[in-house]
Amino acid sequence: MTLCDIGNTTYHFKTSLEEFKISINDKLPAIKEPIYFISVNDKATSKLLNQYPNAINLKPYLKFETNYASTMGLDRVIACSYIKNNIIVDCGSAITVDIMQNSKHLGGFIMPGIDAMKNIYPNISPKLAFNFENNLNLDKIPLNTNDAINYALLQMIILPIKAIQDKYNLEIVFTGETSKYIIDYFENKKYNKHLIFESMKSAIRENI
């Protein structure tokens, strides 16, 4: 069995033997196992199905209780589908934050991802080019421009998440590669690299 998480920029594959990512613009690999996928990218989905017409989209099999609009991304749905009481923070090209309480989705919000945040300041002015640092002491007021930018950037991401955690008093589950830049600023948290793949496996076990 091969799992595939199709994002905005990459195909993320997990086979029985390996895990890897490729750009949506690159040639798809040769895969002999049955493929199960989720996708937020229609064009990349068509490309996958053109090469693997028997690949199974897991979207119709997901049962998810929420009052959120139908615009909620499938990546967020699958990440939350098998969570009972947690805040889910998925750090990718965007950072999504979702609250699950008693297996019901209460809502959430979306922020630009860390890479997108890092591009904001040089776009304002070349003089605001900076070196990103994720081990900044946020208890100290910055005294130079590089620290000042890093301080603001990190706080723009961290403070809204902490506010939600304080409100609901739930453990945070981080996933996504860039979680490593912010996870140490939080308490009552854990990291699950394969959260989405684990949820996909649960959907397969229950429905297929």
User: What residues act catalytically?
Assistant: 75
Residue 157 host element (H or E) = helix 145-168
Integer angstrom CA distances of residue 122 from 82, 94, 125, 127, 181: 40, 19, 5, 7, 20
Count Cα neighbours of 77 within 13 Å in the Cβ-side half-sphere: 22
Residues 52, 2, 17, 94: what is their CA dihedral angle, to the nearest 10 degrees? Answer: 110
d(CA 55, CA 34): 7
Q: The dihedral of CA 165, 170, 176, 181: what is its sign?
A: positive
Nearest to 137 by CA among 179, 185, 174, 91: 185
207 residue type, one letter: N
